[in-house]
Chain A
Amino acid sequence: MNEPKFLILAPGELYREKKFGPNTVNQGAALFECEWDGGRFEAGLFTGGIFLSGEFVGGIFLGGIFWGGTWVSGIWEGGFDRTGTYHSRGDSPSAP
């Protein structure tokens, strides 16, 4: 049986307007205006894109849309939930 292949994004890498699927793990890259659909965001910067699904467990979220997925931990610097409502610094997208 084939093991699923994981894409590891590393510190020092920058991606702009890219899409990442469920087998992606971000360990410290910066994502500008990217689409995150699945996968595990462990560290790095997510700015200006859309987080569709997956787990956000570390890093900085700044100015994007948190459409779905699970917010576990990390630094919420500001951004929008799926209704387009802005959540301020220190908040989280799952806050009522």
Chain B
Amino acid sequence: MQRLLIASPHRYPDLARLWHRFVTRELVPAFARLPLEVDVNIFCDANADRFHRNLFPGVRFSCSGPGMRDFMEFYDATLNAQCDFLLFLDADTFLLDGNWACSYFEAFDNPNVAAVSFVPRREAPAIFALLCRAESFRALPAPALACRYEFPENSPHGVNLQPGEFATRELIKRGKTIVNIAGEESSRHAANFRGTTGFRSSREHTMQAAGERVFWQSVVEYPAYLIAAYDNVLLGCLYQSLYHEPFAPDQGGTPLGGSLTVADLKQVLKGVRDTKQRALLRERFKRSQQNILRMAAQEGVELSIPFVLSD
């Protein structure tokens, strides 16, 4: 039987629990029915000692080490795992309908198809949820999946290829096909809370290197952080309703203290005066709310979502 490996790098065990919950309920059984032999692999990109193995039944863990020092090396190292197909699924990406995802597996009947991208980035294939034919990617020069910066001499106007983009380009050059699910269809079957892990780790790095004041200044100056912080609030609502534990706590255990607490987020949002920016944030928050409510509905729980941004 052909083998599928579902693989993901994680820094935070709480988000990993949510990810694992949806993967094992939606994806593993659906792909197993195809039939495929399905394995799940979580790479602990940080905080390895906080990933309690008993909370993740059926998962094989990998930890940072030689040849796999961070998530970037994890992608390429995983290409050599024993499998025929690989589903890279980001820590903050949830495929909510296993049957929908599986329906695209028949695309691989065409030997030219190298991958199916379930969640696009600006309507182009992306690694967020990428189902790969392993041998197609193994044929590329290593590292195939790591990011790279082309024309660095033109910085900051060089080309910053995100993970997987180089591989996509090389595969297409070789006549391969990447099936790219458009954003509209993808959004009906997937929920993406992009940047939530990045924001938490950015808080850690900024606090460590430059202190609290700089962190707060960066939050105020960078709207994407506000979206990520709000998405963490939503993930926290779901997590807390399922596990009755704080999500993204700080060292003292304050819920969302490792991201932005609800009170802090409200305070920062009060300072956003630009009407257009407030409208954009409101629109983006609404989309995330719809996503978390769909996930809650699948779980059969009701969420009480705090109000953070006034009209």
Contacts and interface: CB of A to CB of B under 8 A. Distances in A.
B72 A88 contact: yes
A83 interface: yes
B306 interface: no
Interface in A51-93: 59-60, 62, 65, 67, 75, 77-78, 80, 82-86, 88-91
Given A78-B70, A88-B72, A89-B70, A59 B209 contact: yes
B217 A82 contact: no
A45 B210 contact: yes
B73 A88 contact: yes
A77 B73 CA distance: 13
A85 B208 CA distance: 26
Contacts of A84: 148-152, 158
Nearest to B69: A88
Interface residues of A, number: 34
Contact of B218 (A14, A50, A59, A86): A14
Given A14-B217, A84-B150, A85-B148, A28 B211 contact: yes
Interface in A2-40: 11-14, 16, 28-30, 32-33
Contacts of B158: 84
B209 A80 contact: no
Interface of A: 11-14, 16, 28-30, 32-33, 43-45, 47, 49-50, 59-60, 62, 65, 67, 75, 77-78, 80, 82-86, 88-91
20 contacts: A11-B210, A14-B210, A14-B214, A28-B210, A30-B206, A30-B214, A50-B152, A50-B156, A59-B209, A65-B152, A78-B72, A82-B152, A84-B148, A85-B148, A86-B72, A86-B149, A88-B70, A89-B64, A89-B70, A90-B69
